[in-house]
Amino acid sequence: MKGQRPALRLRPMRVEDIPAVVQLDRLSFATPWSTSAFRHEVLGSNHSHMLILERAGTSQRSSPHTAASAGAREQRGWRAWWRGRSQPENPTGYGGLWVIEDEGHISTLAVQPNERGQRLGELILTALIQRALAAGAGYIVLEVRVSNHVAQALYRKYDFTIAERRPRYYADSEDAFTMRLDLGDDTSIHFQKRRAALWQHFATRQGLQDAYTESPWPEACAAPG
């Protein structure tokens, strides 16, 4: 269809995504993560399940080899060739999940400012919950600013409830709510119905592709060197 946007793809975060993710993180949060923190999540943690939401076809790494790129590799060396072809466009959004024993913890979630209001944060959230279920988590927790009513409404939509208030949790001294979702049978069935309807919406309208939820973990996704 003329004018149709590229399909959406969910996939594991790779190390070459980090510079763009750091930029989006700084746009989204008053206390953003450092580059080293994201590198640890992608490369150094056995419990971290980092996610990228992108428009399919924007990642240069996934494009086929060409004669020009092969020539460049010979002339400039393998590492220079990799750097020249492996820089993705800005991600549409990202999220993070830790799973330790039976606890899932949503560590971060953000969407590009010009892409907000399209239920993309909801899509990322449901992917993280589904991943936690697949990893065997019995419950999920997260922290949210007490002033962030939009995020709280989204979490409540998926049956998260406030478990506690944590005073001065953030660096600017704002309190946080810890919210919790217990993944019992009834909750899981209810969630799966909502997730199926949401993902059908995106599959029909934007050709949603999921390379994240059932992906092996940890993925060998780091750029060489």
Active site residues: 143, 155
Residue 90's alpha-carbon distances to 31, 40, 57, in angstroms, are 20, 20, 12
Distance (Å, whole) CA 215 – CA 155: 24
Cα dihedral value 116, 121, 122, 128, nearest 10: 170
Residue 94 sits at φ, ψ, to 5 deg, of: -155, 165
Kindly give, in sequence order, each residue whose CB lies less than 8 Å from that of residue 139, ignoring residues fewer than 6 positions away: 102, 103, 104, 180, 181, 182, 183
Kindly give, in sequence order, each residue whose CB lies less than 8 Å from that of residue 153, ignoring residues fewer than 6 positions away: none
DSSP 114: G
Report whether 164 contacts 178 (CB < 8 A): yes
Cα dihedral value 186, 192, 198, 199, nearest 10: 170
Helix axis angle for 120-134 and 185-206, nearest 10°, is: 130
Kindly give, in sequence order, each residue whose CB lies less than 8 Å from that of residue 120, ignoring residues fewer than 6 positions away: 8, 53, 92, 93, 111
